[in-house]
Structure 1
Amino acid sequence: MGCDGGTIPKRHELVKGPKKVEKVDKDAELVAQWNYCTLSQEVLRRPIVACELGRLYNKDAIIEFLLDKSAEKALGKAASHIKSIKNVTELKLSDNPAWEGDKGNTKGDKHDDLQRARFICPVVGLEMNGRHRFCFLRCCGCVFSERALKEIKAEVCHTCGAAFQEDDVIVLNGSKEDVEGLKKRMEERRLKAKLERKTKKPKAAESVSKAEVEESAGPSKVKTGKAEDTGLDSREKKTSLAPKNAATSGSSSGKAEKPPCGAMKRTIADSEESEAYKSLFTTHSSAKRSKEESAHWVTHTSYCF
């Protein structure tokens, strides 16, 4: 067996027992859940969104996933329940004033406090580092700690004042039991939405058919109404003109009839005005000059002599 040099082997070196189960570091798991995107595994950066199961994502990663759903992406399973951008809510997060990030660790000799978080609860002031349960509202996207919702019970959001119900409260990065309950609520919500769409479609079709029938019947009624109105107007005009014609015929015996308006129009040349007045117009004979009499380099009218 060797043992040269006086080495004494121990039992665990000679006999191989069962492998120990590797335990996941809780601190590392919390950092991964609360500081990194579930889909792209990149650092969370605004705009940050959350799904109906309470997982955190970068909005850019969700948009890219919806545009390119390739089967090669193994991480796509984490967002397989997201069918459209409507299944995701943009979060309104409150910044932590004590958060410095990597500003004070330029030399790399500073201790990183894993319990220090970028965001806090705006009501109680708890840091969103995974040590405390946090939730958000689907109606407005505001994020609070669960302690704030329990201590300050209200039917209105604490920051924006939007009304919400119990179904709108979704736990962020909850346990397996929380995820199962949220999944059931998500499925029920989507079934209700499908049923509402199905009921709306026949109603919309009925309204469209009624509108088409009204449009097809409408113009004929309008035309008949116009024809009736024009018939009545013509009759009224005839009745109103009849006494006027009778009156003019009765007065023709005493006075001469006035000529129509068209007969009153006469040219100035035929009028009884003086020649000096007639010469002011272009229709006068003095305004008509031959090409030899008119100069070729000056453009003039009958007013220039």
Structure 2
Amino acid sequence: MELLTPSVDFVFKRIFGIEENKDILLDFLNAVFESANEPGVTEIEILNPFLDKDAVHDKQSILDIKARSSNGTLVNIEIQLWNQRDIEKRTLYYWARMYGGQLVEGGRYRNLCRTVTINILGFNYLASEHYHSIFQLLDTRTGLVLTNDIEVHMIELQKLREVSVGQQRKLVRWMLFLLGPTPEKMGELVMGEPALQKALTTLEFLSQDREARELYESRQKAMNDWISNIEGAREEGREEGKIEGERMKAFAVARRLLNKGMPIEEVADLTDLTVADIERFQ
């Protein structure tokens, strides 16, 4: 049986973002906080433990996970396998929506709770060799943190390709799990880790479930179509730019020939421009 890829957002959501797997999400979050040398959490509430099947077919939809810890911290987790550009602005936008969404009319600013965004990237993005980067709001000269209410984690999966399974940090094991190693490596990876073992069991179940596999394939198709459209638009833009560049070169040649007194008809013949184009150019 071929396992589904855990890093596809649909599968990720089905493993980490459902109520019965809350312990898996808790273990993953604590692995992230441990990697950042921050205290872990003891309890978590999933705020969107549902999956809109229509969203699976929509290439623009975001299958993220929103949660709240027992101390009020809000967490948003999103996995992105392809670079959709403007990640920083997109991240801040969704962070701000989640942070500001806590404040009801007449509410007090002091009641706003810490909000953490965790972006798991399937591509290298930051100019850093570290697979886990943590961003906060602080003084760049002294390192003094203004507030811990804003925190953004960037976890880059591709920077773990060369890391061995024997690494002790739990976050490394989770990231390797998401990369979908061979069955032999997967068995070694989850050994002695109850949460990882449960995640693998869920993955195996999803891989055998016909409806889940159909939704998985639909999600893959939606994302592949999106990528093809983006690449097609870029290629079209490159081709248009190339054509425009050739025309500009032709006009530059035409200018030099006209300055030497060559008749317009001869200039048009030598540059493949029309007489009308050259007259407008003049």
TM class by smaller structure: under 0.3
Structure 2 length-normalised TM: 0.26
Higher strand share: 2
Higher relative contact order (CA 8 A, sep 6+): 2
Structure 1 length-normalised TM: 0.24
